[in-house]
Structure formats: C-alpha cells, structure tokens
C-alpha cells in the first residue's frame, strides 16, 4: 500500500481515526506501512488514541514548509523532465535552508532556453536526475510542499522521483496562488505580477528555480500574516486555501484599460 482511501485521508486531516480502526485498515504491516508513508513525505502520528496527519497537530508557525520551483523542458511530466530545481525551507517565519541544482539534460528547445536562460551547455555538465532527486527527497522530508501553481511543480517532482526508482510524493501540499486569492486583492495572481505589485523580492530573476522559490517564499510569508485568526494548524491552512472565499478582484479603471491598449 502506498496510498490511502480518500475517506480515510479526509478523516486524518480533521478529527482523526481511532487507533484500532486505523491499524486494522492497514493490516498486519501497520508499522512498516506508516514508515513507508513517512519516507514518501506523509507523516501520520498517534495522538491520544487517534491517528492524524502531523500537520493537523502542528501550528502554522511551527510548520516546516518547503517552497519549491522547477524549470522543465516541457509541460508534461510523462514526456519531459526537470532541468532545474530550487527550494527554500521555511519555519517560524525564518529561512533555514535552500536547495538549488541544474539537472542533466540533452534537449532544451530554443524557446525554453530563451525563457529560462538555461542552456544545454549548462545542463550537459549538471548532475544526473537520480542524484538530484535523491538529494532533494532528503531535503524535502515530510515538509509541506509549497508552490506557486503547486500542482505543476508537485507532479513534476513526483514523476521524476518515480522515473529514478523512488516512490512518488505523498507530502501535504499548499498552493500560493490559491492562498493569495483568499488573502490579497489583485487583478492577477501570476508570480511576476505579484512580485512587482507587492515588491516581494527585488533581486528576482523570473523563471530561474531558486529565485522563483524565494519570491514564492516571500509571498507565502505575506499571505500567512493575513490569515483569519481562526486558522491555527497547517491542515486548517490547507483547507482554507482550497475552500475559503476568494477576494473580489479590483476593477480596472477605464483610463488604465486605455493605457494598456
């Protein structure tokens, strides 16, 4: 078993599952299964007779976030690959570590080379995918995986893990687009646009992995400061990012529209 029934998953996010019931659902290899889940980033803990995700018991401040950005040579994880990955570990509002690596690749289109500034000559000298993914798996641990359009980065990283013989990711995830839409009024929510409007990271180099991860980190910190007081743990934070009411986007003034033409 390397996944959970959706109903069990939902209960682990909130009130938890009684110990006997959950252990019975995992079978005789319960302890081994829990360790395998943890190795894939899903940390399930026993608390007062109930199993819950660790994130359901961890305050937002104490949560370890891993803010990730990848650059790839295409849009489909099944056909393309990561060419650069950057990540920032954040806890209690402090950056505690960073990760950055190009990845060996022999095929990058001219368009992507122009967008990212990453040349084939650079990736030919980069570490192999297996080495980078194994090092990043250790760096990520069971942190909450954060990305600006997290699904894209998460799916690419998970696919690359499987490609090199590792298990797919099971980390809890958080999207800063979703979170920004519920905490910041903005006409648009692209990372470059928000960086310019909110002056998040003056040294940003858009479409380079660590730089975008750093910009996203600063955006995450900004959004966390704007959360409702009712949100106390990271599972509530994740739920709010998906279910909270989106803020109304400000209307563009007529003169501004004319200037844009």
What is the dotted CATH code of the domain comprising 65-243? 3.30.420.10
- Tokens representing 253 are 């003034």
The answer to whether 45 and 222 have CB atoms below 8 angstroms apart is: no
Q: Are 129 and 123 in contact (CB under 8 A)?
A: no
Q: Is this model's pTM higher than 0.85 or not?
A: yes
Count the alpha carbons within 13 Å of 59 in the hemisphere toward its beta carbon: 6
pLDDT digits (tens, 9 = 90+) for 141-178: 999 999 999 999 999 999 999 999 999 999 999 999 99
The SS3 of residue 109 is coil
* Contact (Cβ atoms closer than 8 angstroms) between residue 83 and residue 102: yes
Helix axes 19-26, 30-39, angle to 10 degrees: 80
Strand partners, 50: 18, 47
Q: Would you write out the chain's pLDDT as a tens digit for each of its 261 residues? A: 567 899 999 999 999 999 999 999 999 899 999 999 999 999 999 999 999 999 999 999 999 999 999 999 999 999 999 999 999 999 999 999 999 999 999 999 999 999 999 999 999 999 999 999 999 999 999 999 999 999 999 999 999 999 999 999 999 999 999 999 999 999 999 999 999 999 999 999 999 999 999 999 999 999 999 999 999 999 999 999 999 999 988 876 655 444 443
CATH 3.30.420.10 domain residues, the chain: 65-243
């Amino acid at each position: 078993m390397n996944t959970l029934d959706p109903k069990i998953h939902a209960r682990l996010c909130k009130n938890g599952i009684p110990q006997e019931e959950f252990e019975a659902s995992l079978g005789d290899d319960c302890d081994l299964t829990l360790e395998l889940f943890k190795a894939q980033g899903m940390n399930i803990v026993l608390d007062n007779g109930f199993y819950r995700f660790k994130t359901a018991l961890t305050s937002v401040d104490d949560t370890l976030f891993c803010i990730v950005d990848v650059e790839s040579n295409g849009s489909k994880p099944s056909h393309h690959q990561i060419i650069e990955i950057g990540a920032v570990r954040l806890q209690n509002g402090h950056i505690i570590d960073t990760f950055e690596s190009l990845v060996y690749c022999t095929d990058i289109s001219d368009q992507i080379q122009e967008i990212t500034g990453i040349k084939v000559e650079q990736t030919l000298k980069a570490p192999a995918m297996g080495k980078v993914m194994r090092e990043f798996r250790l760096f990520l641990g069971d942190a909450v995986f954060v990305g600006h359009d997290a699904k894209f980065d998460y799916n690419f990283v998970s696919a690359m893990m499987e490609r090199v013989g590792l298990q797919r990711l099971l980390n809890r995830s958080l999207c800063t687009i979703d979170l920004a839409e519920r905490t910041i009024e903005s006409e648009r929510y692209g990372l470059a646009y928000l960086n310019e409007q909110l002056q998040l990271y003056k040294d940003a180099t858009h479409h380079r992995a660590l730089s975008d991860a750093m910009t996203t980190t600063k955006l995450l910190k900004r959004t966390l400061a704007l959360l409702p007081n009712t949100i106390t743990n990271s599972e509530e934070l994740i739920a709010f990012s998906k279910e909270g009411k989106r803020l109304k986007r400000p209307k563009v003034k007529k003169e501004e529209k004319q200037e844009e033409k």
